[in-house]
Amino acid sequence: MNTIVVVGGGAAGLQLAIGLGRTLGKRRRARVILVDRSPTHLWKPLLHEVAAGTVEPTVHYTSFALQAERNHFEFIQGDLVSVDRSHRVISLTAGGEADTSGARLRQLAYDKLVLAIGGVTQYFGVTGAREHALALDSVSGAERVRERLHAALRRKSAAALSPDREASKVRVAIVGGGATGVQLAAQLRRTSYLLNRYGVHQLDPNRDVDISVLEAAPSLLPGMDGELAARVARQLAKQNIGIATGQRVTAVTPQGLTLNGTEPVDADVVVWAAGVAAPALVASFGLAVNEKGQARVGPTLQCLDDENVFAIGDCASCRPANAAKELPTRAQVAFQQALYLADAVPRHLAGKPVRPFVFRDYGSLISLAGGLAVGSLASVKGISGWYVEGRLAGLLHNAIYRRHIVSINGWRRALAISISHGLERWLGAGTRLH
């Protein structure tokens, strides 16, 4: 029996393992194994809400072991450290927070290997960025943003009675005006209001909490629709969020950051949301990679120099025939690639012809907190320029996450999960208060 190993149970990998488990695994036509360093899955587009405290990650976790049992695949918790492509064997360490030994615990043979290990923050070699800025590429990173913000609000709140109001200002600088940066800015603004309402701090959320987005490109959301970027910029301005475009952050320090090589800017919290690259590990497998270290894949998502290794999601560099450039690092891409491979891998194993992957762009939605969002929708019957704003856009944004829950849990469980999420929100304060 063939063994298919999927490494990484994120937006792409979990979806794929479930798809393969429900077909090949259930009929015992192949052994399907999912490997992840963590025991639980969290949908990554929630991370800015974890950082703002508006989402409690434990409520949204799903256990890989549970999904494996329900969907006919095996789950192994482990951290991928190397791939021996000539013998088709991968090596894993134990994975998880407690894994500090780095000892190789097990080897796993594969017939087909799918790399779906996601992306990491790209610092572009900026001095001090890795050491002093916070990153949103993991739950622990997101939690650190929340803790740092709370600490700054409480500390400055104590100084708020001083006549020097400038000294009691909290300054949050978000480096990178892409989707992650702007969504985080809006969430943090909302959180600053909620924490004031519950007496966690006594600062004026509008006047005493400065939130700025710093972007090196001439406009927000580089690479996305210009009209969408303009609409998002207007909404952020209404929320009193500072937007500085054409500004290059050249250093990050314990006190803040330096702009354009010379201008120091004080900041209590600096979040680096300026880019995504593949983990350095991918390049060590001897596969062809692009400048971001993402594995280059061909039309069927097989790595260019190894037909037994596939790469999907943020760790892959994919440019399908119908796309003008490499696909962006987005959940929509990861999801479609997973659905494609769930169909294509069994065909490869059966020696059947496999059609190339085609990406369908359904548009972009940017959430702006409090159930609001702004979005541009894909062209319908050749007519482009469809935009949605406000609560309707917020509902559409939420629907993307709900679809993810349905696709991994089925309709009935997804309904129960969504009701429990709604109850959790209704019972809580709207943000974590500690």
Residue in this structure with the two tokens 């740092």, named with its chain if needed: 148
Using Cβ positions, the residue closest to ligand FAD within the complex turns out to be 10
The answer to whether residue 373 forms part of the interface with ligand FAD (CB under 6 A) is: no
Single out the residue of 54, 44, 45, 42 nearest to residue 369, CA to CA: 54
The answer to whether residue 36 forms part of the interface with ligand FAD (CB under 6 A) is: yes
* Binding characters for ligand FAD, 163-182, by CB under 6 A (x = yes): ----------------xx--
Residue 95 CA to residue 76 CA, distance in Å, equals 10
Q: Which residues pair with 366 in a beta bridge?
A: 374
Q: Provide the residue type at 389 as one letter.
A: E
Q: Considering CB under 6 A, how many residues would be counted as binding ligand FAD?
A: 34
Name residues contacting ligand FAD, limited to 255-294 (CB under 6 A). Answer: 279, 281
Q: Which of 25, 44, 55, 108 binds ligand FAD (CB under 6 A)?
A: 44
Q: Which of 8, 205, 293, 363 binds ligand FAD (CB under 6 A)?
A: 8
Single out the residue of 75, 85, 89 nearest to residue 31, CA to CA: 75
Residues 137/121, Cβ–Cβ less than 8 Å: yes
Q: Which of 248, 296, 330, 402 binds ligand FAD (CB under 6 A)?
A: 330
Residue 343 CA to residue 348 CA, distance in Å, equals 9
Other CB atoms within a 10 A radius of the CB of residue 77 amount to 19
Residue 419 CA to residue 108 CA, distance in Å, equals 39
What is the smallest separation between the CB atom of 286 and ligand FAD, expressed in angstroms? Answer: 16
Cβ-based nearer residue to ligand FAD, 157 or 367? 367
Residues 279/117, Cβ–Cβ less than 8 Å: yes
What is the smallest separation between the CB atom of 64 and ligand FAD, expressed in angstroms? Answer: 9
Q: How many CA atoms lie within 13 A of 248 on its CB side?
A: 8
Name residues contacting ligand FAD, limited to 109-128 (CB under 6 A). Answer: 116-118
What is the smallest separation between the CB atom of 351 and ligand FAD, expressed in angstroms? Answer: 28
Q: At what angle do helices 139-158 and 179-197 cross, to 10 degrees?
A: 40
* Binding characters for ligand FAD, 12-31, by CB under 6 A (x = yes): xx------------------
The answer to whether residue 68 forms part of the interface with ligand FAD (CB under 6 A) is: no
Cβ-based nearer residue to ligand FAD, 34 or 195? 34
What residues contact 308, with CB distance under 8 A and at least 6 apart? 85, 88, 110, 111, 112, 113, 302
The answer to whether residue 402 forms part of the interface with ligand FAD (CB under 6 A) is: no
The answer to whether residue 9 forms part of the interface with ligand FAD (CB under 6 A) is: yes
Q: Which residues pair with 269 in a beta bridge?
A: 172
Cβ-based nearer residue to ligand FAD, 7 or 203? 7
E strands of 126-208, at which residues? 134-135, 170-175
The answer to whether residue 329 forms part of the interface with ligand FAD (CB under 6 A) is: yes
Residues at the contact surface with ligand FAD, assessed by CB under 6 A? 7-13, 35-38, 44-45, 47-48, 79-80, 116-118, 136-137, 179-180, 183, 279, 281, 313-314, 329-332, 334
